[in-house]
């Protein structure tokens, strides 16, 4: 009797997860107020580490603080959103109760992009999964006013940039290439999870208000990372 053993083992899949939150205008207003207030405090003692084409600001000081450790009711709500969202993400890649998928540490920072500012192409390797939450899309008039991909996050298909510079010179080299670039509008209340190795950029904010997002990198136990998940950069959830 021949027996089969079927074990799904995707090699390098790209599971992503988008969670939309409704009725979160009040939460986002609070998060915006908190982030802009903290921006003043953190930049007063700035120790920037240039990243993604950014030399200063909250993004470049990502090693110096952790949004999830801030003590505000709105942050407590956000923390719960992140942890429940992560559990949903882990379901895409395995058993969420697998001890190897227990969270070892989360680095979490805020990005405030003012008119003309952008984040150049980068990735978040060696994190396991990363996420963005949009607090404010940058338009004073709401999401409809966005134009020319203002503040959009562009995700690049893994592998594509290793063999192409993208843009017009990419050419129609293969029918598969129609998906080489996924453009996502910054919609407040959206929490988007993606593998940390996925290259992405944020197009320039062409609107009048600040485009505000909260980003994070999540490390899990199975990575056996040499990182010490202590100090101000890290958030480690209590069991
Ligand atoms: Fe990023």
Q: What pLDDT is recorded for position 175?
A: 56
Ligand 1 centroid to residue 41 C-alpha, Å:
23
Cα 233 off chain centre by: 16
Ligand 1 centroid to residue 201 C-alpha, Å:
7
Helix (H, G, I), strand (E, B) or coil at 142: coil
Q: What pLDDT is recorded for position 99?
A: 96
Boundaries of every domain in the chain = 17-160+174-224
Ligand 1 centroid to residue 50 C-alpha, Å:
13
Q: What pLDDT is recorded for position 12?
A: 75
Long-range contacts of the stretch 88-95 (C-beta < 8 A, 24+):
88/17, 88/19, 89/15, 89/17, 89/129, 89/193, 92/15, 92/17, 93/13, 93/15
Q: Measured between alpha carbons, how far is 8 from 104 in angstroms, rounded to an integer?
A: 25
Q: What pLDDT is recorded for position 145?
A: 52
Ligand 1 centroid to residue 6 C-alpha, Å:
36
Q: What pLDDT is recorded for position 146?
A: 58
CATH of 17-160+174-224, one of 3.40.50.2300, 3.20.20.150, 1.10.1060.10, 2.60.120.620: 2.60.120.620
Q: What pLDDT is recorded for position 9?
A: 75
Q: List 17's β-bridge partners, or say none.
A: 193
Could you tell me the two tokens for 115?
A: 């008119």
CA dihedral over 192, 196, 202, 208, signed as positive or negative: positive
Ligand 1 centroid to residue 237 C-alpha, Å:
22
Q: What pLDDT is recorded for position 65?
A: 96
CB-CB contact of 105 with 235 (8 Å): yes
Q: What pLDDT is recorded for position 158?
A: 87
What does pTM read for this prediction?
0.90
Helix (H, G, I), strand (E, B) or coil at 3: coil
Weakly modelled stretches of the chain, pLDDT under 70: 142-147, 163-178
Q: Measured between alpha carbons, how far is 226 from 152 in angstroms, rounded to an integer?
A: 34
Ligand 1 centroid to residue 2 C-alpha, Å:
48
* pLDDT tens track for 41-61: 999 998 999 898 888 899 999
């Amino acid at each position: 009797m021949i027996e089969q053993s079927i074990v799904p083992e995707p090699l390098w899949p790209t599971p992503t997860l988008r969670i939309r939150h409704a009725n979160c205008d009040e939460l986002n207003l609070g998060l915006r107020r908190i982030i802009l207030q903290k921006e003043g405090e953190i930049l007063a003692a700035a120790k920037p580490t240039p990243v993604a084409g950014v030399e200063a600001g909250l993004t470049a000081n990502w090693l110096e603080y952790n949004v999830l450790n801030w003590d505000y009711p709105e942050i407590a709500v956000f923390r719960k959103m992140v942890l429940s969202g992560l559990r949903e993400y882990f379901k895409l890649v395995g058993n969420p109760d697998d001890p190897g998928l227990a969270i070892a540490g989360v680095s979490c920072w805020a990005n405030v992009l003012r008119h003309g500012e952008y984040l150049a192409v980068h990735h978040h390797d060696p994190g396991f999964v990363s996420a963005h939450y949009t607090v404010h899309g940058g338009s004073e008039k709401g999401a409809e006013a966005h134009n020319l991909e203002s503040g959009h996050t562009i995700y690049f298909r893994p592998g594509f940039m290793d063999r192409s510079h993208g843009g017009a010179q990419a050419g129609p080299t293969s029918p598969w290439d129609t998906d080489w670039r996924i453009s996502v509008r910054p919609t407040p209340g959206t929490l988007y999870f993606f593998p940390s190795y996925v290259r992405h950029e944020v197009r320039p904010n062409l609107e009048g208000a600040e485009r505000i997002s909260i980003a994070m990198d999540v490390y899990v136990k199975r990575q056996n990372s040499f990182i010490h998940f202590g100090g101000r950069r890290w958030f480690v959830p209590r069991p």
